[in-house]
Amino acid sequence: MSTCSTCGIGHVYYRREHEGASLCRKCFVESVERKVRRTITKNRMLEPNDTVAVALSGGKDSVALLRILSGLERRFPSAKLLAVTVDEGIEGYRSEAISISRDLCRDLNVEHLVVSFEELFGITMDNVASTQTELQPCSYCGVLRRKALNEVARRVGSTKVATAHNLDDEVQTALLNLMHGDIERTFQSCSSSRTESKLVPRIKPLAEIPERETMLYAYAVGARFQSLLCPHGRDALRGDIRVMLNRLETKHPGMKYTIFSSMERLSELTRKARKLRDFRTCRICGDPTPNEICEACMMLRALKLSAASTQTPLTVRSD
């Protein structure tokens, strides 16, 4: 059996093709944590006095993220970490995740908040999925979850929101936006840190860790994470992009990083132009938006209209 190319002692747990490295479990875990620290430093994601709200869904990525950040917190004693789980209202799916998240936070001694779509917006994702809508349920879910996290982070005085998007998520999203002709988002999505006015800045410390590695990391540290799949997750195009990128990566190791770096460079070029954009205040909720009404409020309004026309018992709070 071959031995680890870093320490020369341990048995090989993972072979990182694009680096030509064969790593034992311990060296693999350390290399992932080191890479996350590098991403944080390179993008100046954290300040010593930050209060960071970690979006904890209970999946492998967010569980790995919270474990890594809680290790970092010990190095920054004046920083504060808390975890936020958003309950989208998906019967039989979220309860497992909430219990995993609660146990993890108790073990790591991290404050844990749970907030629901129902409480914030008066809807559940089960309602949305059973309503005839223009977009896939995931499109509504993503926008509303972002809004929910921002809202909670603001309420509790967080200075950053950390999400567990990994390298695969970032590259897939960028390509999806490109295919949908959303040029601005294409180059925004890969940016690891976002600092638009009034929105709590969002950081993505796992943006340079491939999905396969976040999963192996979670297994390697013995973490428990959600096993159930969401019944509403049917984004077929994203699935196809995922398969295509994985094929490319197998044939050309490091391809996901190459695409990611290109997106980052293009993002840098368009950052100036974005800064010049005139941000206004949403007429309904007061959040910053380039339009008169923000995307989340537009969606809530569309859901309300759609529910009314199909007579679905969807309750969306009125403006």
Cβ-count burial 102-132 (b if 16+ within 10 Å, e if not): bebbeebebebbbbbbeebbebbbbbbbbbe
Quote the crossing angle between the two packed helices 60-75 and 94-108, to the nearest 10°: 20
Taking CB under 6 A as the criterion, which residues in 59-88 touch ligand SF4? 88
Return the residue of 21, 72, 113, 138 that touches ligand SF4, per CB under 6 A. 138
Binding-residue total with Zn ion (CB under 5 A): 12
Q: Which of 69, 141, 297, 316 binds ligand SF4 (CB under 6 A)?
A: 141
Considering the rule CB under 6 A, would residue 228 count as an interface residue with ligand SF4? no
Nearer to ligand SF4, 91 or 319 (CB): 91
Burial class (CB in 10 A: 0-12, 13-18, 19+), 36: buried
**Least distance to ligand SF4 from the beta carbon of 144, Å?**
9
- For residue 155, give every residue at least 6 positions away whose Cβ sits within 8 Å of its Cβ, in sequence order, or none: none
Question: Residues with Cβ < 8 Å from 286, sequence gap 6 or more?
Answer: none
Would you count residue 298 as binding Zn ion (CB under 5 A)? no
285 makes contact, choosing from Zn ion, ligand SF4, none, with CB < 5 to 8 Å by partner type, with: Zn ion
- At its nearest, how many Å lie between ligand SF4 and the CB of residue 225? 14
**Residue 199 lies near ligand SF4 (rule: CB under 6 A):** no
Is residue 294 part of the contact set for Zn ion (CB under 5 A)?
yes
Cα–Cα distance between 149 and 282 in angstroms, integer? Answer: 17
Q: Which does 232 bind (CB under 5 to 8 A by kind): Zn ion, ligand SF4, none?
A: ligand SF4
* Cα atoms in the Cβ-side hemisphere of radius 13 Å centred on 312: 20
Instruction: Indicate which of ligand SF4, Zn ion, none lies near residue 112 (CB less than 5 to 8 Å, by partner kind).
Output: none
Q: By rule CB under 6 A, what count of residues binds ligand SF4?
A: 9
> Under the criterion CB under 6 A, does residue 190 sit at the interface with ligand SF4?
no
What is the rounded end-to-end Cα distance, in angstroms, of the chain? Answer: 65
Q: Which of 59, 89, 137, 210 binds ligand SF4 (CB under 6 A)?
A: 137
Report the residue from 21, 221, 284, 302 that binds Zn ion according to the rule CB under 5 A.
284
By the 10 Å C-beta count (0-12 exposed, 13-18 middle, 19+ buried), 40 is classed as buried
Per CB under 6 A, the list member of 122, 142, 201, 253 interacting with ligand SF4 is: 142
Q: What does the alpha-carbon distance between residue 131 and residue 304 come to, in Å, rounded to a whole number? A: 10
Q: Round to whole Å and give the CA distance between 6 and 266.
A: 34
Q: Which stretch binds Zn ion (CB under 5 A): 74-82, 193-201, 219-227, 279-287?
A: 279-287
Rounded to 5 degrees, what are φ and ψ at 112?
-125, 125
Region of 109 please: left (phi>0), alpha (psi -120 to 50) or beta: left
The binding site for ligand SF4 (CB under 6 A) comprises: 88, 125, 137-138, 141-142, 230, 232-233
The binding site for Zn ion (CB under 5 A) comprises: 4, 6-7, 10, 24, 27, 282, 284-285, 287, 294, 297
